């Protein structure tokens, strides 16, 4: 491959662009993870994470991809043969369900057409039916990265409460944390699973469990075998700022910087930025005359948009044309959506002009790949973003 000048556009829905500040923070000599300096770093990241999860509860950090944190959530809280209620919202929910089955859990999988989120009414009905309370956990993927659909976690919490059922609530926020409003404590989530490589703007390699009191209690009786993933040793060591095994030191430097950046911008502003870019993207898609995969407007994802290509047009061909011509990577269709959609990531370290470059690359790519469409998607997005910036300017002047 010869050198291509300028920055590659990494517009898959994670891993996301790593900001220079984070890259520079990682590019430091590795320190003694048992030395005195380390505890300061450990305390800062462990405390700082609570803000992002909107929790007062402890957050466990694993040197692992998100899949590891999925496993940790299950093996710490459940026993062989336990029933778990899961929702087939897309490819990632399916992988989590397969993992649960492999671990020896009895996963009940509520089907969807992969165009909508987990239905709170179904959760309530299933839990009400379970008079013997044999369902031990409800597992939901907050933002289904394969479809661009965000399930309503607050509404599902209410449904669980309305059923009066004591099941644990486990939620995957791998592509929503630090991009879409998410409240571990307020929504009574018992284990929140997250990863480093999306809204947290880090490279892949760290993953997380935010853990409620109720989940810690459940872990005392949970019988699934666990060793590396066990919470208790980890939480005991974390009290002093250390880890029971070698942590990913340089990624923790990066995490410290990313948490500082999120605080500087303010979580509310981070969420508003993601909402704005998602809305601008949807306006572009509609102007092109293409269809958004998510069928429920109140479940539109703010971190990515999945775009359906017209019947007979291979979405991967469109992606390949865009990669070759404009050096931009878009997300592929996963599982049964292969070839039918492409996914535009608009999460993480991202701004208005990066979005415009992204949408311009898509619009030019549609033309080059021979996809029937109308022009004017970028224009529609520009109008929306410019009007937003205009309103913000007026508000600042008035303040
Ligand atoms: C929602 C969701 N869950 C789980 C995973 C799996 O995480 P990882 O690939 O980091 O193991 C991903 C990966 O993209 C994801 O998007």
**Tokens 């970028």, located at residue:** 378
Paired sense of beta strands 135-141 and 149-150, if any: unpaired
b/e code 314-325 from CB counts within 10 Å (16+ = b): ebbbbbebbbee
pLDDT per position as a tens digit, 363-383: 999 999 999 999 999 999 999
Could you give phi then psi for residue 29, rounded to 5 degrees?
-60, 140
Could you give phi then psi for residue 167, rounded to 5 degrees?
-55, 150
Q: What is the pLDDT of residue 2?
A: 82
| C-alpha 59 – ligand 1 centre gap (Å) | 18
| C-alpha 398 – ligand 1 centre gap (Å) | 43
Q: What is the pLDDT of residue 370?
A: 98
**Tokens representing residue 6 in the block:** 């300028």
| Residue 352 in this model has a pLDDT that exceeds 70 | yes
User: pTM of the entire structure?
Assistant: 0.98
Paired sense of beta strands 191-195 and 291-292, if any: unpaired
| C-alpha span between 355 and 328 (Å, rounded) | 12
Q: What is the pLDDT of residue 155?
A: 98
For the chain, the straight-line distance linking the first and the last C-alpha, in angstroms and rounded, comes to 52
b/e code 41-74 from CB counts within 10 Å (16+ = b): bbebbbebbbebbbbebbbbbbbbbbbbbbbbbb
CA angle 118, 136, 205 (to 5 degrees): 65
What average pLDDT does the segment 224-250 reach?
98
**Tokens 């669980």, located at residue:** 160
Q: What is the pLDDT of residue 273?
A: 98
Q: What is the pLDDT of residue 331?
A: 98
Residue 210 pLDDT grade (very low, low, confident, very high; cuts 50, 70, 90): very high
pLDDT per position as a tens digit, 22-48: 999 999 999 999 999 999 999 999 999
| C-alpha 367 – ligand 1 centre gap (Å) | 32
Measured from the CA of 142, which atom of ligand 1 is nearest?
Answer: 1
Residue 1 pLDDT grade (very low, low, confident, very high; cuts 50, 70, 90): low
pLDDT per position as a tens digit, 141-182: 999 999 999 999 999 999 999 999 999 999 999 999 999 999
Output the residue whose Cα is nearest ligand 1's atom 5.
Answer: 66
| C-alpha 71 – ligand 1 centre gap (Å) | 12
Exposure of 279 by Cβ count < 10 A (0-12 exposed, 13-18 middle, 19+ buried)? middle
Mean pLDDT of the chain: 98
pLDDT per position as a tens digit, 257-281: 999 999 999 999 999 999 999 999 9
pLDDT per position as a tens digit, 279-299: 999 999 999 999 999 999 999
| C-alpha 303 – ligand 1 centre gap (Å) | 14
Q: What is the pLDDT of residue 212?
A: 98
| Residue 224 in this model has a pLDDT that exceeds 70 | yes
Query: Which residue(s) pair with 88 in the sheet?
Result: 111
Helix segments in the chain, DSSP class H = 20-26, 36-53, 66-77, 91-102, 120-129, 153-163, 213-221, 231-238, 249-265, 267-288, 315-326, 352-368, 377-398
Q: Enumerate residues lining ligand 1, CB below 6 A.
A: 14, 65-67, 92, 141, 145, 172, 174-175, 195, 204
| Residue 349 in this model has a pLDDT that exceeds 80 | yes
Nearest alpha-carbon partner for 172 in 112, 256, 87? 87
- The helix or strand, by DSSP H or E, that contains position 343, with its residue range, turns out to be strand 341-345
Quick count: other Cβ atoms within 10 Å of Cβ 253?
21
| C-alpha span between 334 and 320 (Å, rounded) | 15
What average pLDDT does the segment 132-138 reach?
98
| C-alpha span between 288 and 140 (Å, rounded) | 32
Measured from the CA of 204, which atom of ligand 1 is nearest?
Answer: 10
**Tokens 């019988």, located at residue:** 223
Q: What is the pLDDT of residue 148?
A: 98
Q: What is the pLDDT of residue 390?
A: 94
């Amino acid at each position: 491959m010869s050198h291509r000048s300028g920055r590659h556009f990494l517009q898959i829905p994670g891993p996301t662009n790593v900001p220079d500040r984070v890259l520079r923070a990682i590019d430091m000599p590795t320190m003694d993870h048992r030395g005195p300096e380390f505890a300061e770093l450990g305390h800062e990241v462990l405390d700082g994470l609570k803000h992002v999860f909107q929790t007062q509860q402890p957050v466990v950090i694993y040197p692992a991809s998100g899949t590891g944190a999925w496993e940790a959530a299950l093996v710490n809280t459940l026993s062989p043969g336990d029933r778990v209620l899961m929702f087939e919202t897309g490819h990632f929910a399916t992988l989590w369900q397969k993992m649960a089955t492999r671990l020896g859990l009895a996963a009940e999988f509520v089907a969807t057409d992969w165009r909508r989120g987990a239905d709170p009414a179904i959760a309530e009905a299933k839990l009400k039916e379970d008079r013997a309370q044999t369902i031990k956990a409800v597992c939901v993927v907050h933002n289904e990265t394969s479809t661009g659909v965000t399930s309503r976690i607050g509404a599902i919490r209410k449904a669980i409460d309305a059923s009066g059922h004591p099941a644990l609530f486990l939620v995957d926020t791998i592509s929503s944390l630090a991009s879409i409003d998410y409240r571990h404590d307020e929504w009574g989530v018992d284990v929140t699973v997250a990863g480093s490589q999306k809204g947290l703007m880090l490279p892949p390699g760290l993953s997380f469990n935010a853990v409620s009191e109720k989940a810690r209690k459940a872990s005392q009786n949970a019988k699934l075998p666990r060793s590396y993933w066990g919470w208790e040793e980890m939480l005991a060591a974390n009290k002093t700022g250390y880890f029971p095994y070698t942590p990913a030191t340089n990624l923790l430097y990066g995490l410290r910087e990313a948490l500082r950046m999120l605080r500087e911008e303010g979580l509310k502003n981070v969420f508003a930025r993601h909402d704005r870019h998602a809305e601008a993207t949807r306006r572009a898609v509609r102007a092109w005359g293409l269809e958004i995969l998510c069928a429920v407007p109140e479940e539109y994802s703010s971190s990515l948009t999945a775009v359906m290509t017209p019947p007979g047009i291979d979405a991967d061909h469109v992606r390949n044309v865009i990669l070759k011509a404009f050096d931009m990577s878009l997300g592929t269709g996963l599982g049964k959506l292969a070839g039918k959609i492409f996914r535009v990531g608009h999460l993480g370290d991202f701004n208005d002009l990066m979005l415009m470059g992204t949408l311009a690359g898509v619009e030019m790519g549609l033309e080059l790949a021979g996809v029937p469409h109308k022009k004017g998607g970028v224009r529609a997005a520009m109008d929306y973003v410019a009007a937003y910036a205009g309103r913000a300017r007026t508000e600042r002047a008035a303040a």
